Amino acid sequence: MIKLDDALLAELGLDGIPESHRRAVLQLIYEELEIRTGYTLATAMSDAQLTRFEVFIEASDEGGALAFLEAEFPDYRGVVNEQFERMKEEIRAHLDDVLALSEAYRDIPIALPALVDPWAPKGQVSEQPAAG
């Protein structure tokens, strides 16, 4: 299971960024991972599969979406992990730039809206990013 937390930031060499930037970085990683994984899976789906999957997403039916992915794409967790590893490599490759930006904006807190959990009832938010 992928964990987006301070241990990940340390693994990536980002443990020195200001506390006010940590949640923002984790949220951006979460959102980008969701986009990349969704795009990869969607491009592999037929029109019929995509239509069925969208029904689960629009209904916030996590169980239905998970069952669909397990049945139609048994290695979907492999796709998530592959995208996550690619992102970590990209972050490491640009670590100096990320650290320089964080240092330049050290005294400026990054205000982000709360995460919207796609599986939660409409309007419910998540305080901590998490990925499958």
Q: What is the pLDDT of residues 31-64, one digit of tens each?
A: 899 899 989 999 999 999 999 999 998 998 989 9
The answer to the question of residue 48 being in a domain is: yes
pLDDT tens, residue by residue, 57-106:
899 898 998 899 989 999 999 999 999 999 999 999 999 998 988 888 77
Predicted pLDDT of residue 107? 77
Task: Compute the radius of gyration of the chain from its Cα atoms.
Answer: 16
Count of domains forming the chain = 1
Q: How far, in Å, CA of 21 to CA of 9, rounded?
A: 11
The answer to the question of residue 114 being in a domain is: no
pTM of this structure: 0.75
Predicted pLDDT of residue 78? 95
Domain of residue 24: give its range.
Answer: 6-109
Residues ≥6 apart with Cβ < 8 Å to 126: 114, 115, 116, 117, 120
The answer to the question of residue 52 being in a domain is: yes
Say which residue, 105 or 9, is predicted with more confidence: 9
Q: How far, in Å, CA of 46 to CA of 14, rounded?
A: 39
Say what percent of the chain tops pLDDT 70.
82
